[in-house]
Amino acid sequence: MKFLIVDDNYNNRILLQKMLSQYGDCDMAIDGKEAVDAFKMAMDDGQPYNLICLDIMMPEMNGQEALKVIREYERSKGIEKDNGVKIIMATALYTPQDLIEAFFNGGCNDYLTKPIKRAELLALLERYGFKA
């Protein structure tokens, strides 16, 4: 499995890496712009990510914007959402607007509330079939 961890906070990235590294290779990005670049590069190389953990609040490009760009890129390559990368949004506090934006306008798969709990993250991995 191939995971992309996106968060502007170093500690959050390391924490997620610790949770995910036994289930696959983890790459990291520090903002939405880096995430989009990494996502496109992996896809163009024919080695797309299976999962992206995407923080919402980040400088440069936030998670909501990155989510839309990623889904748009998949669509441009003829990939339907069900066959696309699994995207989990993460933030400390969700407003109803955040959720509408992420699910209905953005096309994320799930969301987790920070601090992310290992059990919750692993439950999602299991549901996606990424955890043996």
Interacting residues toward Mg ion by CB under 5 A: 8, 55, 57-58
Q: At 132, is the secondary structure helix, strand, or coil?
A: coil
CA distance 65 to 77: 19
Question: In this structure, which amino acid lies at residue 109?
Answer: N
CA distance 28 to 79: 23
**Residue 29: strand pairing partners:** 6
Instruction: Give least dist CB 114 to Mg ion, A.
Output: 9
Which CB atom, from 54 or from 58, has the smaller least distance to Mg ion?
Answer: 58
How far, in whole angstroms, is CA 86 from its chain's centroid? 7
Evaluate the omega torsion of the peptide bond into residue 96 and state whether it is cis, within 30 degrees of 0.
no
CB atoms within 10 A of CB 32: 26
Instruction: Give least dist CB 12 to Mg ion, A.
Output: 7
Which CB atom, from 13 or from 68, has the smaller least distance to Mg ion?
Answer: 13
Instruction: Give least dist CB 14 to Mg ion, A.
Output: 14
Which CB atom, from 29 or from 124, has the smaller least distance to Mg ion?
Answer: 29
Which CB atom, from 8 or from 74, has the smaller least distance to Mg ion?
Answer: 8
Instruction: Give least dist CB 112 to Mg ion, A.
Output: 13
- The CB-nearest residue to Mg ion is 57
